[in-house]
Amino acid sequence: MKEIPHPHEEAWYFGFVEAIKLNKVIKYINFITLMNTLIFGWIGVIGTFLYKLPQIYKFYKTKNSEGVSLTSYILQTIGYIAQILHGIIINDLPTITLGAGALFFNLILCFQQYYYRKNVIGDITTTQQEPQELELQQQ
């Protein structure tokens, strides 16, 4: 005669199997979430790097930073330092990279903005130039 399993034994077995399946699903969802987070994090890093390049190029090409606020770049720089610290605390490489790269580009922009700023002396407006160029213009 076939022995009939106790109802609690069978329920325990199926509960255990279902728990294993659920655990696998949760791990898969966590993996997908992590991958999406990393993908969007790295896309953000690339976008942040790219959007600063045209301004750096414009400052360099025109040798002029008129109308651009140095204060805004300084405040952004402070924000990027905070972002780097946040990335270190949460141990997130895209956040650290984003902050460090943006900080680097912002420091370049701050330097350019300061270096290419317009100097106003009385009624004469000049940009910073090499001393030889200034001498030639004054003659």
Q: Are 104 and 41 in contact (CB under 8 A)?
A: no
Q: What percent of the chain has pLDDT over 70?
A: 62
Q: What is the CATH number of the domain that holds 89?
A: 1.20.1280.290
- List the domain range (segments joined by +) for residue 24: 7-138
Q: Assign 119 to helix, strand or coil.
A: strand
**Residue 14 in domain:** yes
Query: pLDDT tens-digit profile of 1-39?
Result: 566 555 555 555 556 566 677 677 777 776 676 666 677
**Which token pair is 128?**
């910073």
Sorting pLDDT into bands at 50, 70 and 90, what band is 123? very low
**Residue 1 in domain:** no
DSSP conformational letter for 129:
-
How many domains does the chain contain in total?
Answer: 1
Predicted TM-score (pTM) of this structure? 0.56
**Residue 98 in domain:** yes
**Residue 2 in domain:** no
